[in-house]
Amino acid sequence: MSVNDIQEEIIEEFSQFDDWMDKYNLLIDLGKNLPAIDPKHKTRDYLIEGCQSKVWLYPDYDGVNVNFTADSDAIITKGIIALLLRVLSGRAPKEIISSDLYFIDRIGLRQNLSPTRSNGLLAMVRQIKLYAIAIDAKR
């Protein structure tokens, strides 16, 4: 599935909720089920520090695709990470670089990726693209 196919799928999933608490309950579940990052990668080198919550992001390039694992100390942040990775992880660097993330806005979570809400998520999206650019340049 393309980046946009998955974005549409997520928008569809969230469209069934009118109540914010239901959306958050889903994010909390997604956060709880996010595959764990290898503890050896949960270090300063892979830390993206927001002033509200912390995010760790580790890229693993298998020669074709970049697979990301990530974690956060806040569970809602972790839920949003799960969505971001569902869209962007396991893709070729060029696909990641050219992706345009619109689903966050459409499911009403834009404030979570605003520059004024420093939970580390905006920096994480930038970092995902930077890793992809660096890997692409090395090939």
- Are the C-beta atoms of residues 119 and 53 closer than 8 Å to each other? yes
Of 6, 17, 24, 41, the one binding other proteins (CB under 8 A) is: 24
Q: Does the protein bind other proteins through residue 48 (CB under 8 A)?
A: no
**Tokens encoding 112:** 């979570």
Stretch of residues binding other proteins (CB under 8 A), selected from 34-42, 51-59, 93-101, 130-138: 51-59
Stretch of residues binding other proteins (CB under 8 A), selected from 58-66, 67-75, 88-96, 123-131: 67-75
Of 26, 28, 125, 133, the one binding other proteins (CB under 8 A) is: 28
CB of 127 to other proteins, least distance (A): 19
Of 76, 85, 96, 132, the one binding other proteins (CB under 8 A) is: 76
- Are the C-beta atoms of residues 103 and 67 closer than 8 Å to each other? no
Closest CA to 49 of 119, 116, 126: 119
Nearer to other proteins, 21 or 36 (CB): 21
Closest CA to 96 of 107, 84, 114: 84
Gap between the Cα atoms of 113 and 116, Å rounded: 8
- Are the C-beta atoms of residues 99 and 15 closer than 8 Å to each other? no
Question: Is 51 annotated as catalytic?
Answer: yes
Count of residues that bind other proteins according to CB under 8 A? 16
- Are the C-beta atoms of residues 42 and 51 closer than 8 Å to each other? no
Which entry of 1, 21, 36, 51 is annotated as an active-site residue? 51
Q: In the complex, which residues of this chain contact other proteins (CB under 8 A)? A: 20-21, 24-25, 28, 31-32, 51-53, 73-77, 119
